Structure 1
Amino acid sequence: MATPMYSSKLSGSKFKNWIKAGLGVLYTKEGIEPFVCDEIEQFQQKCLNDICINNGLPAGTTCSGCCTENVIVCPTNRICNAKRGKCSFHRNSATQYLPSGCPNKICHNFKNEIQNAHRFCGPSYKNTDASQWCSNAWEVAKCFMPPDGYKDVTNAAKTDFNGINSVIINFKAFQSKVKDDLSKKFNIFEQGREVGRAVRHSPQLEMEDTDLHKYFTDLQNLLSDPTYLSANTDAQNAKTKLLQLQNDTLIIGKDDIRNVLDDVAKAVQDKIRTEIDEQKKEAEKTKLELISITNASVKRIESQEILSISQLDKALDSAINDLEKHTKASLKKVQSEADIAKKQIGECADKGVSKLNVEADTGVKQIEISADKGVSKLKVEADTGVKQIEISADKGVSKLKVEADTGVKQIEKQIEISADKGVSKLKVEAEAGATKISAKADEALKKIEESTTANKEDKYNKLKEGKCIFV
């Protein structure tokens, strides 16, 4: 029985619809690729000319010595990832930011031109190699693509539809050649991006008829924008292919189908590497398996390089049948392995129970022995501890008594000495005070006698002069 994902209940036509949508995206990419290449090359040359004129440099001056890290300030959001103080982008001395700028005055100014030209001011610098900005215009274009998955593409041919379409959306100069407003969320190129996502991320590699019809309409509208693409030969050739594919009249190249499958396979492989959920990861692995089987089925169709729609249908039917056969074999193998595993689990469980019983009995005995030993050891240690405490207490009391007696004697002696010194000091000070008082008294008596004699002589002189004195 097939897995639910690819059950026979689901019509094989849904898988064919998915292939057709993938081819539609591929042809649309071919229609806009030259348009994007021309615009980016013009932008590259304009930047170089403006930089030379504005900085007084000779015409044609270029630089290939600066790497991308040299022109990006550290830290820069979504680029620099500092762990333990070390940036994973500016990882060594050769890849540090150069504050003084490019020695040739080219690369830092080129970086500023790219920054200003980006609709959201967020160029994908991790994608690009600045040392090639002057020599490879596609390294400039990669600054306008999504931040992951485009570092290793070196030209437009190796870039998928999503990358090329994103350049139109993010490079502001394209607005002059597109009538639809590229700043709006649901412009024709954003709708084209959604078609690409639907193909790459289809969980079952299937598509309903109504969805396929809508996606063809969206891609045709993109290629019909009246400002430029409606008159562009490459765009109109792509539109013709879309109409023929939609009407089942297109002759399909085998390489085209491989490109569709390889493009989606790459996205699936990236998903498998990053997916954490195991069920989702298994679903992606099954999807990758279907892609591989389809590729093999297409390859088996003789040696011709082109296919009709009927041949494509035959190849896809063969791929689905092969997958179902493979799925049945896988399920049978899984069931057999499950039965064996179940039996082994039962045997292991029985052995495990017996082993656990033996180990449990042994454990109980060991615990009892350890408990008895522990109790005995604790009792001995407790008795020893009590004796040590008693001995220490007796020693402490004796020591305190000796120290107390010694302290009392020292205090008594100190008091006696201090008392004798105090009495002696007081006696000396008293004798000195008495002597001082006696001297003061003698001096006072002498002054009184002198004063009395002077008064007497004064009174006598006044009587002699005939002056009356009344007392």
Structure 2
Amino acid sequence: MATPLYSSKLSGSKFKNWIKAGLGVLYTKQGIEPFVYDEIEQFQQKCLSDICNNNGLVAGTTCSSCCTENVIVCPTNRICNVGRGKCKFHRNSATQYLPAGCPNKICHNFKNDIQNAHRYYGPSYKNTDASQWCGNAWQIAKCFMPPDGYKDVTCALETDFNGIISVIINYKAFQSKIKDDLSKKSSIFEKAREVGRAVRHSPKLEMEDTDLQQYFSDLQNLLSDPANLSADKAAQNAKTKLLQLQNDTLIIGKDDIRNVLDDVAKAVQDKIRTEIDEHRKEAEKKKLELINTTNESVKTIANQGDVSIAQLDNALKSAIDKIEKQTKESLTKVQSEADVAKKQIHECADKEVNKLEVKAEVGVKQIEESTDKGVSNLKVEAETGVKQIEESTDKGVSKLKVEAETGVKQIEESTDKGANKLEVKAEAELKKLSAKADEKIKQIEESTTGNKEDEYNKLKEADSR
């Protein structure tokens, strides 16, 4: 799809501003690298000296046998967690934590000194290689950088601006070298870090004039800190470059432009690898295309090692023109493909319409035939059903008539039998009652005669007295 992202009308001057801001960040980084390295190296030497003195070791004693895992307790927050199985940090027998400490009494003590020196007591141990703490001061510096993206960095030159600034902010001893309060989010170093982020993560590789001037001011304020940097030679050389760049009088090293573009290209490539949204991924690919094309244009224009602002303008214009041409060609190709596709769709649509019409006619005819057959079938089935119902009705009436006559006959017979049974039972009962009555009369008569004899005897005895 077409996008106005890289058209010369919209992006010419803003893209140049973005390049200049990137160069400003690069020069500022170069201006403070020696200052940061010297401070970290002094910290390294002080740690070694104190460890030897406190543990009765010979001065100059070092250790290179302990890996980082050997000095980090398992588990340690944000580094390793064994709660759900085997620890991926302490992954084998050679990378287990050594509870007894470094056999040379160096590395565990070094680790404690680094932790105490961190502003937030959270060194990025994943970045560093403890076996090099005694020999490479920058391995110690990496403990004060963000936890991701710096494991393979071996020196200040390979470290980006954000990493350098992080060392200054997180290593507490730098506060004694800087007048501004490093613990505040509004410090000159925090502002400078935001400039670096604005360059690396610019969505369109563009920058407004007002933003560019503000960024130049922030970077110059950092290089002008009165505690040390205002008198530091490298910092002041960087400040001079910034002023010349701001006034378009600087002769730029071709490698400087390449460094700026390569640094951002790396960030863009990382984004392309991790981006899920296809539209955003496509935008990142366009950015990478512009970066690579600009790099090629700078190489073509600048036969010497340096590039003037005018040559940079030409290189940027050439890159944008090339991108614009490629975009137009892509648009033409896409439009042509769209026209062909549209034509094919119409042709297919017409064919499908014809097929549908034919199928519809056949379908209607089949429906009509099926309907006629269905009506005939229904008529025959209806007549058959009526005939069956009539026959079943006649049979049912006859059957009911027979069953009714049989029932009446059975009732009459049952009634006669019942009457006879009742008559026999009544006669038997009358005989029983008559016999019982005769018995009772006889008993009464006998009882009356006995009573009379008793009364006579009693009267007779009374007279004799």
Q: TM-score when scaled to structure 2?
A: 0.73
Using the aligned pairs only, state the percent identity: 82
Q: Equivalents in 1 of 2:333, 2:88: separation in Å? A: 46
Larger Rg: 1 or 2?
A: 2
Q: Equivalents in 1 of 2:316, 2:84: separation in Å? A: 53
Q: Equivalents in 2 of 1:86, 1:120: separation in Å? A: 28
Structure-to-structure mapping, 1:218-367, within 5 angstroms: 218-338=218-338
Give CA-to-partner distance per residue, 1:45-99, whole Å, 9 cap, x none.
0111111111111111111111111111122222225585022211122111112
Give the direction of change, closer, same or farther, for the CA distance of 1:339–1:112 in structure 2 (3 Å limit).
farther
Q: Equivalents in 1 of 2:40, 2:339: separation in Å? A: 61
Q: CA deviation at 1:348?
A: 9.0
1:368 corresponds to: none
Give the direction of change, closer, same or farther, for the CA distance of 1:288–1:58 in structure 2 (3 Å limit).
same
Q: Equivalents in 1 of 2:107, 2:274: separation in Å? A: 34
8 Å CA contact 1:244–1:250 kept in 2: the answer is yes
Give the direction of change, closer, same or farther, for the CA distance of 1:144–1:340 in structure 2 (3 Å limit).
farther
Q: Equivalents in 1 of 2:123, 2:277: separation in Å? A: 31
Q: Equivalents in 2 of 1:161, 1:319: separation in Å? A: 26
Q: Equivalents in 2 of 1:174, 1:82: separation in Å? A: 36
Give the direction of change, closer, same or farther, for the CA distance of 1:132–1:340 in structure 2 (3 Å limit).
farther
Give the direction of change, closer, same or farther, for the CA distance of 1:250–1:109 in structure 2 (3 Å limit).
same
Q: Equivalents in 1 of 2:100, 2:129: separation in Å? A: 20
Q: CA deviation at 1:3?
A: 1.6
Q: CA deviation at 1:333?
A: 3.1
Q: Equivalents in 2 of 1:340, 1:279: separation in Å? A: 25
Give CA-to-partner distance per residue, 1:405-458, whole Å, 9 cap, x none.
xxxxxxxxxxxxxxxxxxxxxxxxxxxxxxxxxxxxxxxxxxxxxxxxxxxxxx
Mind listing any 5+ residue stretches in structure 2 that lack a counterpart?
Answer: 364-465
1:136 corresponds to: 136
8 Å CA contact 2:254–2:302 kept in 1: the answer is no
Q: Equivalents in 2 of 1:90, 1:346: separation in Å? A: 64
Give the direction of change, closer, same or farther, for the CA distance of 1:346–1:114 in structure 2 (3 Å limit).
farther
1:173 corresponds to: 173
1:184 corresponds to: 184
Q: Equivalents in 1 of 2:338, 2:331: separation in Å? A: 10
1:71 partnered with 2:83: no
1:197 partnered with 2:186: no
Q: Equivalents in 2 of 1:331, 1:166: separation in Å? A: 44
8 Å CA contact 1:2–1:324 kept in 2: the answer is no
8 Å CA contact 2:145–2:164 kept in 1: the answer is yes
Structure-to-structure mapping, 1:71-220, within 5 angstroms: 71-80=71-80, 82=82, 84-220=84-220
2:429 corresponds to: none
Q: Equivalents in 1 of 2:327, 2:111: separation in Å? A: 52
What secondary structure sits across from 2:262 in the alignment?
Answer: helix
What secondary structure sits across from 1:310 in the alignment?
Answer: helix
For residue 212 of structure 2, what is the amino acid of its counterpart? L
Give CA-to-partner distance per residue, 1:182-223, whole Å, 9 cap, x none.
011110000000000000000000000000000000000000
Q: Return 27-36 or 342-351, whichever deviates more.
A: 342-351
For residue 103 of structure 2, what is the amino acid of its counterpart? P
8 Å CA contact 1:175–1:181 kept in 2: the answer is yes
Q: Equivalents in 2 of 1:55, 1:337: separation in Å? A: 77
8 Å CA contact 2:12–2:320 kept in 1: the answer is yes
What secondary structure sits across from 1:204 in the alignment?
Answer: coil
Give CA-to-partner distance per residue, 1:359-389, whole Å, 9 cap, x none.
xx9xxxxxxxxxxxxxxxxxxxxxxxxxxxx
Q: Equivalents in 1 of 2:86, 2:338: separation in Å? A: 49
Q: CA deviation at 1:342?
A: 6.2
Q: Equivalents in 1 of 2:140, 2:37: separation in Å? A: 11
Q: Equivalents in 2 of 1:131, 1:298: separation in Å? A: 42
Q: Equivalents in 2 of 1:196, 1:102: separation in Å? A: 39
Q: Equivalents in 2 of 1:247, 1:144: separation in Å? A: 35
Give the direction of change, closer, same or farther, for the CA distance of 1:235–1:335 in structure 2 (3 Å limit).
same
Q: TM-score when scaled to structure 1?
A: 0.72
1:464 corresponds to: none
Q: CA deviation at 1:330?
A: 2.3
